[in-house]
Amino acid sequence: MDAITQYRAWVPATLLAALLGGALLPAVAVAAQQWAEGNTYTAGTVVTYNGRDYRALVTHSAYVGTNWNPAATPTLWQDIGPASGGGTPTPTPGPSPTPTPATPSPGGGGTCGYAAWNAGAAYTGGQRVSYNGTAYEAKWWTQGENPAQSGQWGVWKAVTCSGTPGPTPTPTPGPTPTPSPGGFVVSESDFNRMFPGRNSFYSYSGLVQALSAYPQFANTGSDTTKRQEAAAFLANINHETGGLVYIVEQNQANWPLYCDPGSVYACAPGKQYYGRGPMQLSWNFNYGAAGAALGLPLLADPDLVARDSAVAWKTAIWYWMTQSGPGTMTPHNAIVNGAGFGETIRSINGSLECGGRNPAQVQSRVNAYLSFTQILGVTSGNNLSC
């Protein structure tokens, strides 16, 4: 559809290198845990595997049978040297009460004695709660998302007392999902002003649901910084999708081309990884890395990004928060660290637009950003172009 599609047609090694561009963390001091399949690892966790220590680059689940071991998945793990007693820092998004499960009763079913779900509490992946007579387990960090309304691809899964997944809860009609306490800095009326002609697929409720995947998004720093980040994100996806009109890449001739056979995220038979969603996610390795980070089967079902509004928004926020593309920092860091809107452009499509390569495309993004910051009542800051 537009230049970002061309950018993502880069040599895959370039993008894979970008996935590894995390800042160095302090040296660790105590024995690291052994890596094992079936566990969920948060970003920053240190594990030992085959005599070496690795640090998780993104939060992900090591699904049994996938063999996503640290040595084989450089997009998920950073090799930090020989095993020498590495610690395991586990960053948490915020205060997270830890519901303590009671001893499960044989046979499963019921609430298993887990603490009742609290809409105001934050839960991390693996924590369990009870709600309306059913036990649920969080797949990733969440706050304020009703377990009974989670659906097949949502944050909660129903479980029996033995831990075996129970039937997927059927969503029940309820109010439009609301952001976590404190509120998203973009109101629904502001969103509608920004995108008056958008496709109904790109719903405000879907965006608000997606915020739980990365709680720091548009929620870091001062109120001005939060609003600038929201405006910058929305201005870039406005450019990528023609004002939130296009859901999939418009150039269908490119659709079969986005499979890198050398990636650790093997292409599924019959699946195509062309641009989808607000950030036009493309390539099998991006679908694989995003799916691993979000706990979603995006390699097996890439069309999920074009079917589920919340999933589509989550993939865009994943890219914004974790990827630096051709730039030197993530778009999130560009705003919260004061580098300016221009650096977000560089991280998304700088190789084709920045440095005078396509000033009209850059100006299109800048114009949207200036409009959106005005709607949100904040200044635009410096360094708008690239």
What residues does 123 pair with on adjacent strands?
A: 142
Q: What is d(CA 238, CA 193) in angstroms, rounded to the nearest whole number?
A: 12
List strand residue ranges (DSSP E) for 140-210, in order.
142-143, 156-159
DSSP 235-291: HHHHHHHTTTT-SB-S-GGGGGG---TTSSSPPPTT-----BTTTTB-SHHHHHHHH
Q: What is d(CA 328, CA 164) in angstroms, rounded to the nearest whole number?
A: 43
Q: How many CB atoms lie within 10 A of CB 92?
A: 12
Query: At CA 265, angle to CA 264 and CA 271, rounded to 5?
Result: 145
Alpha carbons within 13 angstroms on the beta-carbon side of residue 205 total 8
Q: What is d(CA 165, CA 183) in angstroms, rounded to the nearest whole number?
A: 32
Q: What is d(CA 256, CA 274) in angstroms, rounded to the nearest whole number?
A: 7
* Residues catalogued as catalytic: 240
Q: What is d(CA 307, CA 313) in angstroms, rounded to the nearest whole number?
A: 11
* DSSP H helices in the chain: 3-7, 12-19, 188-194, 204-210, 223-241, 284-294, 304-307, 309-322, 331-336, 341-353, 359-376
Total length of the chain = 386
What is the side-by-side strand order in the sheet with 156-159? Answer: 128-131, 134-138, 156-159
